[in-house]
Chain A
Amino acid sequence: MKRERRRVASRRSVKEACPFCRRTISLLLVAIAVSVLARPAGGEPAPPRGSEGISLRSIRGSNEMIFSRDVEDTLDELENWFDVSIDMGEVTAGFRYQMYETSARGANESAGFSQRFAEFRRDWLTLRAGNYYETFGRGLVLRVFEDREIRQETSLDGVALEARLEDFMDLKMTGITGRSGDDFVRGGDVEATLLPGVKLGAAYAMSNRSYTDRTEMGGIRSDVSHGPLGVYAEFATRDGFHEFEGSGFYLSTTLSVPKLGVVAEYKDYDDFEFAYHNPPAALRDHSVNLLARHPRVVQPDDEQGFQVEATYSPSFSTTIIGSDSYTAQHSGDAPFHEQYLEIRQDIGDRLFTILAGARSREIPSGRDEANAVYRYTGAGELDFRITDERSISLIYEHQLTESAYGDVTDQYGVVGFSCCSILMFSLQAERTSEKDPVTDKDFWLMGSLGLKFARRHDVSLSVGTRRSRFICSSGMCRFEPKLEGAELRIVSTF
């Protein structure tokens, strides 16, 4: 009865489902697709590289479509990215047609050309007009980028110029100016190799929406490498018209010798918020599903910490990775401490195994030790090649969460089968010891069928239930809501 009431409520909260039923043909997309289809079927000799000019052969593109239907909430979502670029040697031009549609009432739908650009490239010069991405140093001062998995897209629309004088200290100079929404962003970066293995750089970036809403960033950096050792350091300051001045510091030291690699990172960010940067997280991005569920999101306004990670490969078939990371506010509040160990072992040419374990301790901001949350996670993965073309994979993950609210266990497993490089089938199941408060479920099961066509098209259809989760990259996360229905994903390239 309780479930029925929720269903009725959810039906009222959304518009009529099945938006596809109302749609007809797009002349634009048809024109593009037809032009692609009109490629010569063969026989025309390929012109020399760099002199091809505009021809159908110089057109490249890709399309990614994700459509999901939640049958319980009668909610449809469609996302599509269609990228095309024309490579004419020194000049490249392209665009992106992007779409987001949902049947949810009041949601912001969008469709249109989200990007277009033209780029001129010579040996020492690159000039780009339109949408562009850029990073100064390791992102303390400026980083505008796209990460589709977390739906992060901060491209600027304007002009970017990069000049490189290889004969003069390998000097690299970059200047940018552009808009993002109502913001106007400008910046410059210069980097020079003073001595072999010694690079110095300086960067500046500014954004302003109005005279009273202005933020300036400035930074210097050094990158020194000698033999197996490397040290990278970057310091940047932030100055806002109405806001506190802040600073950020990042240090990374590396040891790279045969069989062993060690990276130690340190970060210290204080009042360092800026809409167009992405300072290093110094945290591990996990591929273990249950570990990725509970990320630590980077807080540039008040955060310091470190991470040490070592990779040891005693033989080509064995790899051991260990890491220890700690992050907290300057006051010591809101600590996050995680230790991770992973062992990969290949047994012959048929069996590939991974064992991983992690322990983390986290206290939410403003709470004391009594509110600490401890997580103990174990994961195992096994891939077995049955024949040259067929293989099976098994994944099992277990997580125990201890907190003031009691202990909760979470188990996640995947059974997969792949064949002939074109077919993949998998079943993913998850069970928790407590019911999810939002969906009132403690078991989720999803089946996925993946097909590849001509090695250019990757189609996957998933049907069943999937728990809500976080998807994270570099200290930034996206919340992916639960799914009780089907999801179709088609990735194509041409």
Chain B
Amino acid sequence: MLASGKRLQVDVGWRRTISGAAVLGVLLTFAAGWVVAGEPGDGEEDNPKVELIDAADACVVSDFTMENVDGERVSLDDLLEDGVVLIDFWALWCRPCLRELDYLNDFNNKRGKDGFAVVTVNIDTPESISRVKSYVQSRGYGFEVLLDPEKELYYDLNVPAIPYSVLIDREGRIRSVHIGFQLGDEKIMEREIAALIEEGVANETGEETSGE
């Protein structure tokens, strides 16, 4: 079944033992994710449906530098200097991804001035690079479009499927994750973005107050 023809042969008994536990592994992973999703964040008081991953439990994303569709190099640290960042993985062949991009462009336009930026990462094949620029230009998207034809960032962030988006706070912590996209998801994403922007503003205000 592996197209590369690679076979990983291990002892039959051991294989049966460990393979049976795949289900258990999945369930435990499932439970782990549930735990990691954590308690609702500060935004819950304002809106009961906003559930951000607790900052203390959140994974930290290391800095990365990638090329955008114009051939310029963009780093995560530079983006985070301006505030909250939503990273979204997509491809031209993915219908839900294309629908989601319209909403992300809307978020970027509406909340860009509040310290928020959308960064999309295209994972089409190398030959599709030309089509990506052409598509993005024709749609008039204003967000940053990074190219990841070798799926380096895709694997670094262990993206399981697309569309896949992660919301990152100013400290580079992943505070929300979305697998897939259905109509209605954009409402949740919008509330999460607002909550995280407000959290950042509150923290800044708190720091200034304590500094005084």
Residues of A within 8 A of B (CB): 19-20, 22-26, 28-30, 32-34, 36-37, 39-50, 52, 57-65, 78-80, 82-85, 87, 89-90, 92, 98-102, 107-114, 121, 123, 133-135, 137-139, 143, 145-146, 150-155, 166, 180-181, 197, 199, 225, 228, 230, 232, 250, 252-263, 265, 278, 280-282, 285-287, 309, 311-313, 316, 319, 346, 352, 381, 383, 385, 388-391, 418-421, 424, 452-458, 473-474, 478, 490-494
What is the minimal beta-carbon distance from A248 to any residue of chain B, in angstroms? Answer: 12
Q: Which of B114-138 contact A (CB under 8 A)?
A: 125-131, 133-138
- Beyond A30-B24, A166-B73, A389-B184, 5 extra complex contacts between A and B, CB < 8 Å: A181-B4, A197-B71, A390-B184, A418-B183, A453-B33
What is the minimal beta-carbon distance from B80 to any residue of chain A, in angstroms? Answer: 9
Cα–Cα distance between A138 and B149 once the two chains are bound (Å): 9
Cα–Cα distance between A297 and B79 once the two chains are bound (Å): 40
Asked, given contacts A309-B131, A490-B26, whether A43 binds B1 with beta carbons under 8 Å apart, the answer is no
Asked, given contacts A33-B25, A388-B187, whether A98 binds B8 with beta carbons under 8 Å apart, the answer is yes
The interface bits of chain B over 87-110 (1 if a CB of A lies within 8 angstroms of the residue's CB, else 0) are 000001111000100100000000
Asked, given contacts A61-B158, A258-B140, whether A389 binds B187 with beta carbons under 8 Å apart, the answer is yes
Asked if B127 contacts A456 (CB within 8 A), the reply is: no
Asked, given contacts A49-B60, A457-B33, whether A313 binds B139 with beta carbons under 8 Å apart, the answer is yes
Task: Name 26 A/B residue pairs within 8 A (Cβ), A-sorted.
Answer: A20-B23, A23-B21, A33-B31, A36-B36, A42-B54, A60-B158, A65-B23, A78-B19, A87-B60, A139-B127, A145-B150, A197-B71, A228-B137, A230-B133, A254-B130, A258-B137, A259-B140, A261-B135, A262-B134, A316-B139, A391-B183, A452-B180, A453-B33, A473-B125, A493-B158, A494-B32
Chain A residues with CB under 8 Å of B22's CB are 26, 29, 65, 78, 80, 82, 99
Q: How many residues of B contact A (CB 8 A)?
A: 95
Asked if B176 contacts A455 (CB within 8 A), the reply is: yes
The interface bits of chain B over 2-14 (1 if a CB of A lies within 8 angstroms of the residue's CB, else 0) are 1111111110000
Asked if A311 contacts B7 (CB within 8 A), the reply is: no
Chain A residues with CB under 8 Å of B56's CB are 40, 42-46
Cα–Cα distance between A65 and B30 once the two chains are bound (Å): 12
Asked if A385 contacts B183 (CB within 8 A), the reply is: yes
What is the minimal beta-carbon distance from A479 to any residue of chain B, in angstroms? Answer: 11
Q: Which of B125-183 contact A (CB under 8 A)?
A: 125-131, 133-140, 149-152, 155-161, 164, 171-173, 176-180, 182-183
What is the minimal beta-carbon distance from B151 to any residue of chain A, in angstroms? Answer: 7
Asked if A111 contacts B60 (CB within 8 A), the reply is: no
Chain A residues with CB under 8 Å of B138's CB are 256, 258-261, 311-313, 319
Asked if B127 contacts A455 (CB within 8 A), the reply is: no
Does residue B17 face the partner (Cβ distance < 8 Å to A)? yes
Asked if B55 contacts A46 (CB within 8 A), the reply is: yes
What is the minimal beta-carbon distance from A73 to any residue of chain B, in angstroms? Answer: 16
Asked if A152 contacts B177 (CB within 8 A), the reply is: no
What is the minimal beta-carbon distance from A180 to any residue of chain B, in angstroms? Answer: 7
Does residue B202 face the partner (Cβ distance < 8 Å to A)? no
Chain A residues with CB under 8 Å of B183's CB are 383, 385, 391, 418
Tell which of A225, A257, A453 touches B34, judged by Cβ atoms closer than 8 Å: A453
Asked if A49 contacts B26 (CB within 8 A), the reply is: no
What is the minimal beta-carbon distance from B154 to any residue of chain A, in angstroms? Answer: 10
Tell which of A111, A390, A458 touches B18, judged by Cβ atoms closer than 8 Å: A111
Cα–Cα distance between A166 and B35 once the two chains are bound (Å): 42
Asked, given contacts A41-B57, A316-B102, whether A34 binds B28 with beta carbons under 8 Å apart, the answer is yes
Asked if A37 contacts B31 (CB within 8 A), the reply is: yes
Asked if B18 contacts A33 (CB within 8 A), the reply is: no
What is the minimal beta-carbon distance from B177 to any residue of chain A, in angstroms? Answer: 6
Cα–Cα distance between A26 and B5 once the two chains are bound (Å): 25
Asked if B151 contacts A418 (CB within 8 A), the reply is: no
Cα–Cα distance between A453 and B35 once the two chains are bound (Å): 11
Does residue B38 face the partner (Cβ distance < 8 Å to A)? yes
Asked if A454 contacts B34 (CB within 8 A), the reply is: yes
Tell which of B29, B73, B102, B149 touches A33, judged by Cβ atoms closer than 8 Å: B29
Does residue B204 face the partner (Cβ distance < 8 Å to A)? no
Asked, given contacts A39-B57, A63-B25, A391-B184, whether A110 binds B9 with beta carbons under 8 Å apart, the answer is yes
Chain B residues with CB under 8 Å of A59's CB are 59
Closest residue of chain B to A33 (Cβ to Cβ) is: B28
Does residue B210 face the partner (Cβ distance < 8 Å to A)? no
Chain A residues with CB under 8 Å of B156's CB are 85, 87, 92
Asked if B158 contacts A110 (CB within 8 A), the reply is: no
Asked if B8 contacts A256 (CB within 8 A), the reply is: no
Tell which of B16, B60, B71, B127 touches A280, judged by Cβ atoms closer than 8 Å: B127
Asked if A42 contacts B38 (CB within 8 A), the reply is: yes
